Amino acid sequence: MSAPLFLVDELPSGRRFTLAGAEGHHAATVQRLKVGEDLLLSDGRGGTAVAEVTAVGRGSVDVAVLGWELADPPDPRLVVVQGIAKGDRGELAVQAMTEIGVDEIVPWAASRSVAQWRGDRGVKAREKWVSTAREAAKQARRSWLPVIAGNPDVSTKKVSALLPAAAAAFVLHEEATDRLSRAKLPGGGDIVLVVGPEGGISDQELGSFVAAGAQPVRLGDSVLRTSTAGMAALAVLSARLDRW
């Protein structure tokens, strides 16, 4: 089993470090790491330190840092505009997409989104997405945390405004004739993928996105749920971009 990863605000600069707080509690109490076991420390911005547990306290672990690594930022970047879904489907989508390798997720307040992120509810909902992405990144041993955009969400108008700056933009749509597996991909920059909510993307939204430069595409003959469509599309892109 690979060494577990724990997130820290800043990587240790010296050879000795104490992992405390929530991550230290998880390491000592939940995972029950023992002296001599290895772990990874990451700042979520590409930096990783390989360390070995030297002592276990109550809610903390002392480690000896064995080495440091710095991963380049991903390029192209995979950005998913995810239509806000009801219940826990949005969080399921965030979890799966983070594990696969999404670099940024934009919560989209689509016209057919059943759930609406308004006021404190929206702030809390976005925080759940951030927390879900954080835990999924740790599970996947990712050195770069995905960005969760929005404050708390993004309107259709703002989605249309960000598409022209992308190196490539695609909209998953069941009536599209082009397939994502055959679409032309750029060598760098942002690849933006728009995924609709449960009710799908309206004709007006689709027209706005196409006018902004996005290409409607489909994955296959079946229609996927909003919680799985982005994940499946990212798998296709990851394979085509040699990430996998």
Q: Residue 87's pLDDT band (boundaries 50, 70, 90)?
A: confident
Task: Determine the pLDDT at residue 120.
Answer: 92
| Span 105-123, average pLDDT | 93
Q: Residue 167's pLDDT band (boundaries 50, 70, 90)?
A: very high
| Span 178-200, average pLDDT | 96
SS3 111: coil
| Span 1-20, average pLDDT | 95
Could you give the CA distance from residue 239 to residue 244 in angstroms, rounded to a whole number?
5
Q: Are 207 and 170 in contact, with CB atoms under 8 Å apart?
A: no
Task: Determine the pLDDT at residue 185.
Answer: 98
pLDDT at 56 over 90: yes
pLDDT at 159 over 80: yes
Could you give the CA distance from residue 94 to residue 105 in angstroms, rounded to a whole number?
8
Task: List pLDDT tens digits, range 193-234.
Answer: 999 999 899 999 999 999 999 999 999 888 899 999 999 999
Tokens of 35: 């002296």
CA distances from 47 to 12, 31, 42, 71 (A): 10, 23, 6, 6
| Span 152-171, average pLDDT | 97
